[in-house]
C-alpha cells in the first residue's frame, strides 16, 4: 500500500525529526515497507561524535584554586559544545532513525554529570546500540562511567549494595526485586 503525503510526513516525524523536502518528494508513491527499509538502511552505520579532551588532561592536585575554577569552566563549556554538536548532527545526518532512537534513549537513561568525556561516551554508547539489542544497550550503559557516577556506585559495598544500582547481568532477565537480590 502506497502512503499518502500526510502518512509519509507522520512516519518521518515519528522515525526522525520530520521530513526534509527532498525526502518527502522522493517518498511520494512508495510503500510503508520501502520507506521503513530506507530509514533502517540509512541508519545502519553510527556516526560517533568526537571531541578533543587534551585540555582537561592535567594533574588537578597541582593546580591552584583559580586554575581549578578555570578548568571547571572549560568542562562546562565543553558540555555545552557537545550539546550543540549533537544538535547539529541530528539536523544534518542521513541516519535520522538512529539519531531519533539515540535521543529517545538519552531520555530513558538520563544522567546529570558535568564531565564532558563521560557525557560523550554515554551519548556514543546510546548511538551504538540505538537500533540493536536492548539488553546489550543496558549492559553497556550500566558499565559506563557516566551512569556509575550518576548512581553513586562508589557507595556500593559487597554486603550492602547501593539501592540505585542493584541489578547484576543475569538479574536483568530474571526480574528480581531489589530485596530478593540482597538475600
What's the DSSP call for residue 160?
A: B
Q: What is the mean pLDDT of residues 106-116?
A: 89
Q: Is the pLDDT of residue 156 over 80?
A: no
Greater pLDDT, 161 or 114: 114
Q: Is the pLDDT of residue 78 over 90?
A: yes
Q: What is the structure's pLDDT at 178? A: 41
Q: What is the structure's pLDDT at 169? A: 45
Domain ranges of the chain: 5-42, 54-150
Band of residue 75 on the pLDDT scale cut at 50, 70, 90: very high
Contact 98, 40 (CB under 8 A): no
**Where do we find the cell 531520555?**
107
Q: What is the structure's pLDDT at 95? A: 94
Q: What is the structure's pLDDT at 164? A: 66
φ, ψ at 12 (rounded to 5°) = -70, -30
For 162-174, the pLDDT digits (tens) are 666 555 444 444 4
For 142-152, the pLDDT digits (tens) are 889 998 888 87
Q: What is the structure's pLDDT at 20? A: 81
How many angstroms separate the CA atoms of 34 and 183, rounded?
51
Amino acid at each position: 500500500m502506497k502512503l499518502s503525503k500526510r502518512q509519509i510526513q507522520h512516519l518521518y516525524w515519528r522515525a526522525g525529526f520530520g521530513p526534509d523536502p527532498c525526502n518527502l518528494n522522493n517518498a511520494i508513491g512508495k510503500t510503508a515497507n520501502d520507506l521503513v527499509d530506507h530509514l533502517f538502511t540509512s541508519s545502519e552505520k553510527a556516526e560517533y561524535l568526537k571531541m578533543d579532551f587534551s585540555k582537561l588532561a592535567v594533574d588537578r592536585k597541582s593546580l591552584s584554586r583559580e586554575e581549578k575554577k578555570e578548568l571547571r569552566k572549560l568542562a562546562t563549556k565543553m558540555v555545552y559544545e557537545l550539546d550543540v554538536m549533537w544538535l547539529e548532527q541530528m539536523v544534518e545526518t542521513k541516519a535520522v532513525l538512529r539519531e531519533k532512537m539515540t535521543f529517545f534513549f538519552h531520555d530513558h537513561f538520563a544522567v546529570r554529570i558535568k564531565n564532558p568525556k563521560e557525557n560523550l561516551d554515554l551519548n556514543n554508547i546510546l548511538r551504538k546500540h540505538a537500533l540493536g539489542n536492548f539488553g546489550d544497550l543496558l549492559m553497556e550503559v550500566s558499565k559506563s562511567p557516566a551512569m556509575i557516577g550518576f548512581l553513586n556506585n562508589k557507595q556500593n559495598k559487597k554486603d550492602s549494595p547501593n539501592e540505585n544500582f542493584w541489578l547484576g547481568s543475569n538479574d536483568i532477565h530474571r526480574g528480581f526485586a531489589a530485596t530478593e537480590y540482597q538475600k
